[in-house]
Amino acid sequence: MRFSIFQESKTGGRKSNQDRMGYCYTREALLMLVADGMGGHVQGDMAAQITLQTVGADFQRAATPALRHPLHFLQESLENAQDEIVRYKAMHRLPDFPRTTVVACVIQHGHAYWAHVGDSRLYWMRGGAIIGQTHDHSRVQSLVDQQLITPLEALTHPDRNKVYNCLGSPERPRIEISRKMRLVPGDTILLCSDGLWSSVSDTMMVNAFAAHTVMRAVPDLVQVALNKAGAASDNVTALAMTWEGTDTLTEVDVSTLTMPVGTMTTTIRQTNPTLPVGVVDALSDDEIEKAIREIRESIRRSNQALPKE
């Protein structure tokens, strides 16, 4: 596999960042995740963290080096995350369930597969246009679907932050799964929280990725979202991957061709094994940045080791 990938998350005007993001890959499969902890409920950041750790751990067990059934994996791993959040709530006797939205994507053998719960979104872009995206599980999206409001009105509707489907709910979540989607060289997959898409238009998104690599487009779009929302900005998180189908590599591209079988690269830190099941140690902003720096250094060394063609 050859691809470019970049991720960034900013706290914005909130007291803390309840978004979580991460990716991991083997020689043949890539997993990307964005979870947006719901601030109106207890420990939304923990629900998001549990989700990333659970799905990441499932991927590390199942991708050997490819997943047998990517769509089944997404369904089952998000169900496992739901169970872990419920277990965490019971173990700590919390007064309410920690809750999070999530979007997850697997890239394998030139195809993309994704799943989502809530209003964290995935955009699939090609040739300066959005050719696919997730459908929000939210109050305003249902009003748009019924043609009671317009998409433009949805952006400022008083119920725009209300979702009816999430991980951590007492009821089993509805996990929406995509079909198997064939990628072509130059396709970009963007995963993001509502802090990004609520402030950045579709046109701005496609223009950014059409003009720049993900390494430039992602931080630029995050900053635009922060600037437009101002002091009231939500947490803003974006993770984007551009699929590379040529033999020409640049220094920022990822190639898994030199990875030994059985190895994996990840930005998702797993639960401390000395803690009881269901208890997670949250990742600080400094630790996240350190993990990202380590991944980038690993990518750089990997590219230097590639034979010249």
3-state secondary structure the chain: CEEEEEEEEECCCCCCCCEEEEEEECCCEEEEEEEEECCCCCCHHHHHHHHHHHHHHHHHHHCCCCCCCHHHHHHHHHHHHHHHHHHHHHHCCCCCCCCEEEEEEEEECCEEEEEEECCCEEEEEECCEEEEECCCCEHHHHHHHCCCCCHHHHCCCCCCCCECCCECCCCCCCCEECCCEECCCCCEEEEECHHHHCCCCHHHHHHHHHHCCHHHHHHHHHHHHHHHHHHHCCCEEEEEEEECCCCCCCCCCEECCCCCCCCCEECCCCCCCCCCCCCCCCCCHHHHHHHHHHHHHHHHHHHHCCCCC
Task: State pLDDT tens for residues 223-249.
Answer: 999 999 999 999 999 999 999 864 554
Percent of the chain with pLDDT strictly greater than 90? 69
Domain boundaries, the chain: 2-132+165-304
The pLDDT of residue 15 is above 50:
yes
Name the CATH code of domain 2-132+165-304 (choices 1.10.3720.10, 3.30.70.260, 3.60.40.10, 3.40.50.150): 3.60.40.10
More confident residue, 96 or 40: 96
More confident residue, 252 or 164: 164
Peptide bond into 173 cis (omega under 30): no
pLDDT (0 to 100) of residue 281: 44
The pLDDT of residue 122 is above 70:
yes
* Lowest-pLDDT choice from 129-143, 147-161, 295-309: 295-309
pLDDT (0 to 100) of residue 256: 86
CA–CA gap between residue 149 and residue 154 (Å, rounded) = 7
Task: State pLDDT tens for residues 176-210.
Answer: 999 999 999 999 999 999 999 999 999 999 999 99
Helices 214-229 & 202-211, crossing angle to 10 degrees?
A: 150
CA–CA gap between residue 237 and residue 189 (Å, rounded) = 14
pLDDT (0 to 100) of residue 257: 78
Strand partners, 37: 100
Q: State the pLDDT confidence band at 294, using cuts at 50, 70 and 90.
A: low
pLDDT (0 to 100) of residue 309: 35
Q: State the pLDDT confidence band at 301, using cuts at 50, 70 and 90.
A: low
Cα angle: 152, vertex 153, 159; to 5 degrees: 130
Cα angle: 287, vertex 75, 191; to 5 degrees: 45
The pLDDT of residue 40 is above 60:
yes
Q: How remote is the C-alpha of 273 from its chain's centroid?
A: 24
Percent of the chain with pLDDT strictly greater than 70? 84
The mean pLDDT value for 68-92 works out to 97
Tell me if 149 sits within 8 A of 130, measured CB to CB.
Answer: no
More confident residue, 290 or 27: 27
pLDDT (0 to 100) of residue 246: 47
pLDDT (0 to 100) of residue 140: 85
Q: State the pLDDT confidence band at 293, using cuts at 50, 70 and 90.
A: low
Q: What is the mean pLDDT of the chain?
A: 86
Q: State the pLDDT confidence band at 307, using cuts at 50, 70 and 90.
A: very low
pLDDT (0 to 100) of residue 53: 96
* Lowest-pLDDT choice from 20-24, 120-124, 232-236, 300-304: 300-304
Burial group, residue 143, by CB count within 10 angstroms (0-12, 13-18, 19+): middle
Of the candidates 164, 50, 169, 159, the residue with the CA atom closest to the CA atom of residue 99 = 169
Task: State pLDDT tens for residues 89-112.
Answer: 999 999 999 999 999 999 999 999
Residue whose structure tokens are 């993900």: 214
Task: State pLDDT tens for residues 241-285.
Answer: 999 864 554 544 788 877 887 888 999 976 543 333 333 444 455
pLDDT (0 to 100) of residue 151: 79
pLDDT (0 to 100) of residue 273: 33
